[in-house]
Structure 1
């Protein structure tokens, strides 16, 4: 048995996988965000560990015999977060997360201080990345910066609790702006630009390699045998790719989670920072990937549910008989930039907007506009990838948003690409993490990283695409008109 632990933004998810590749069970425990000031997004690492322990208890109670047979654990986690530790490995302040926008000024400072940043790291300096966060701490919390002995990414802090070891992997480390992405190793040059050294960074292993073993006292408390291997693990998107079998060049997927991600596998390092496209290491050796990221995706729908006091299922049910012609006439345009935006705008100040409300506008129109706005953001990301030379003809859909067939068809129509749903696609990074645990225990890539069965296929409809085209043009024009306002 193999356990996948996915440390997300809104939930810690656990998945139990058997040696035939079947999902035995899942469990989760919710997390909350803290935003003490505008543009800030933080979490207490201690809450990640509490949630993990809670989810372990649930999974163990539901599947006691299978859980006891675990001999490999894989990790997946939200990328870019800065967990700062002192000499005694105590957390110095709340973790600054991937969707935190406070360090926009430090991005400019980093770009000036590291002239080769784009060549080495393959990415623009954006507030979401880890390096600008440390420059912000250095400037605004110098007493804390002086005490920083180690900097860990979220999943790697969780690994520290599991194994006692400080280790990361290239796929996650690539999102720090301190990694030489082509060489898959820390860059002393980029670290020095932040007054840091590799001594403050975790050791690197490939995502599919062993990183350590579960602490004996923890293995005993969880009812597991000694010497349970913990894999290097991966950033959430690279782990999701492993979960749906996206391992070969040209394989790709869309993730509709808190953020929206469009991910395509490459056989070499292909940076294109000018289009705000990310070039990262994949979770397998000698594999890289390009990625576009929008900071708010399925989280836009959760936000709207809270706003109108209705659950997601109710709102989506209201779209069952929704007319595309009606949407073109009465639905507003929605800009999904509730936390700013990355690809293609790199604009932490981009606002969320409903534009074009009328007396005839209903709640269903606004729900439709939210789904459409996120879809149009994905279309912008795909255009950026295409401009970087990436071609795709089919994309898998994963994450919580993949439960909506209406949304899947809307995406297919907007981007003119076949969208595929796989059985268990909502498992996302947790399945990939479990598979990485399997690989670390000696599993073969071809046997482990198979594509799950196809549950549904959504092909683009030319007429619906034509109806969406003028609304996409209005969507893009609205952002440009509001930029900097």
Structure 2
């Protein structure tokens, strides 16, 4: 049997599968986020360790875990967890959505070697600018740093006692040579750091160490291999079987991701597309990221007093967009604008605008944001012909029809089941423990395919053009 541990911002999820990849048990442990100041977002690493203890104990209490031989890890990316020589955390982890280091990020991004070597813009959420912030504002802590670990790798330290990371997560630090799949000495030096402060690297499907005997005893197991694992989006791709060149998924969660697997490295930082290593060897991936997907619909729900389900329940058949436009930039935008200052907009409201019109505009606006991501990926040579639809928003058939027509490619909705990061982590644990290849990361069975409405594709394309023009006009206001 094999376990996947997915360290999320709000919970640690554990899932247990057998060698046929059937889910035998699962358990989630809630986590809390501390926000002591505006723009800060932190978690204590000790809470992750306690959550892992609780999750493993819960699995063992549900199922006989004595035949567990592999564990895979997934986790939220970009966090900065700083350890001293004794492997004690020096401060709370600064999470992916901590934006206090925006000035440091801008300074790094102005240095051409960062984009050239990493293949990415240095975003404020990345790890390197956070540590630069610590260097500037907490120098006494910076001087004690022996190791800098990403969140799931800090959890690995607790599980195995080793300092190890893997390629997909390391690529989101801004210290990584993404094409060479290795740490960049010049970038580390530019930040006052050295390779000795970085963890060793393995591929996500390779062994990274053994589970400590005390924790193996909790499971009743003897020899448990811990895989390299993956950052959360790469792990979700493994769970969804998105590993072959050109395969893709669209994640319609609080934020949105358009993810495509690549058999080569295709960086284009100016497009604001993330170009990262995948969790399996000789493979990369690209992501277009939008900051408000279902979050935009939840915002409208709070504004109108109607639930998201009520807003989208009676929209009828798909129709051409109205003149009302919604730009879902409630907290800025990532791809393709890299614009933290822009804010959301409703345009062309009139006396006839009602909650249903506003709901359609929000669904369409998010779809147009995904269309921007599609175009950004295409500008690098990555053209998506079809994609899996994942995430909570995929429960809305109307929204998937809007997205398929705006993107002009089919969206495949999997049958009910878990195809997320925890399953992907468990699959990586299976690969590391058994030597199985990436072929075990199969796509899920499909319940329904949402095809573009060919009669409405031109109307959606026209509205997308208006949407893009609106951003260009409003960005400086």
Q: TM-score, normalised by structure 2?
A: 0.92
Change (3 A) 1:364 1:161: farther
Please, which runs of 5 or more residues in structure 1 have no aligned partner? Answer: none
- Higher mean C-alpha deviation, range 195-204 or range 362-371: 362-371
SS at match of 2:124: coil
Q: What's the counterpart of residue 273 of structure 1?
A: 269
Question: Aligned equivalents of 2:331 and 2:42: distance in 1?
Answer: 13
Give the one of 269, 282, 286 matched to 1:286. 282
Q: What's the counterpart of residue 328 of structure 1?
A: 322
Question: Aligned equivalents of 2:328 and 2:49: distance in 1?
Answer: 31
Question: Aligned equivalents of 1:245 and 1:416: distance in 2?
Answer: 22
Report how far residue 300 of structure 1 moved: 3.3
Report how far residue 145 of structure 1 moved: 1.9
Change (3 A) 1:191 1:307: farther
1:119 paired with 2:111, answer: no
SS at match of 2:285: strand
Change (3 A) 1:39 1:339: farther
- Higher mean C-alpha deviation, range 132-141 or range 21-30: 21-30
Q: What's the counterpart of residue 255 of structure 1?
A: 251
SS at match of 1:462: coil
How far does the alpha carbon of each residue in 1:147-173 deviate from its partner, in whole angstroms, 9 at most, with x for none?
222211111111122222221101110
CA contact (8 A) 1:99 1:295 kept: no
1:430 paired with 2:426, answer: no
CA contact (8 A) 1:400 1:426 kept: no
Q: TM-score, normalised by structure 1?
A: 0.90
Q: What's the counterpart of residue 183 of structure 2?
A: 186
CA contact (8 A) 1:99 1:339 kept: no
Question: Aligned equivalents of 2:251 and 2:223: distance in 1?
Answer: 34
Q: What's the counterpart of residue 227 of structure 2?
A: 231
Q: What's the counterpart of residue 483 of structure 1?
A: 475
| Mapping of residues 131-142 of structure 1, within 5 Å | 131-142=128-139
Question: Aligned equivalents of 2:360 and 2:59: distance in 1?
Answer: 36
Question: Aligned equivalents of 1:477 and 1:209: distance in 2?
Answer: 47
Q: What's the counterpart of residue 402 of structure 2?
A: 410
1:209 paired with 2:206, answer: yes
Question: Aligned equivalents of 2:242 and 2:96: distance in 1?
Answer: 24
Question: Aligned equivalents of 1:157 and 1:308: distance in 2?
Answer: 42
Report how far residue 80 of structure 1 moved: 1.0
SS at match of 1:427: coil
SS at match of 1:176: coil
CA contact (8 A) 2:166 2:202 kept: yes
1:71 paired with 2:69, answer: yes
1:341 paired with 2:356, answer: no
CA contact (8 A) 2:326 2:362 kept: yes
CA contact (8 A) 2:25 2:63 kept: no
Question: Aligned equivalents of 1:473 and 1:39: distance in 2?
Answer: 33
1:167 paired with 2:164, answer: yes
Q: What's the counterpart of residue 412 of structure 2?
A: 420
Question: Aligned equivalents of 2:105 and 2:92: distance in 1?
Answer: 21
Report how far residue 250 of structure 1 moved: 1.2
- Higher mean C-alpha deviation, range 85-94 or range 71-80: 85-94
Please, which runs of 5 or more residues in structure 2 have no aligned partner? Answer: none
Give the one of 96, 99, 102 matched to 1:98. 96
SS at match of 1:274: helix
CA contact (8 A) 2:240 2:419 kept: no
Report how far residue 187 of structure 1 moved: 0.8
Change (3 A) 1:4 1:85: same
SS at match of 2:322: helix
CA contact (8 A) 1:399 1:426 kept: no
CA contact (8 A) 1:162 1:214 kept: yes
Question: Aligned equivalents of 1:296 and 1:55: distance in 2?
Answer: 30
How far does the alpha carbon of each residue in 1:388-442 deviate from its partner, in whole angstroms, 9 at most, with x for none?
1111211112233333322222211110011112235653111111100000012
Change (3 A) 1:366 1:82: farther
Q: What's the counterpart of residue 363 of structure 2?
A: 371
Q: What's the counterpart of residue 373 of structure 2?
A: 381
CA contact (8 A) 1:5 1:14 kept: yes
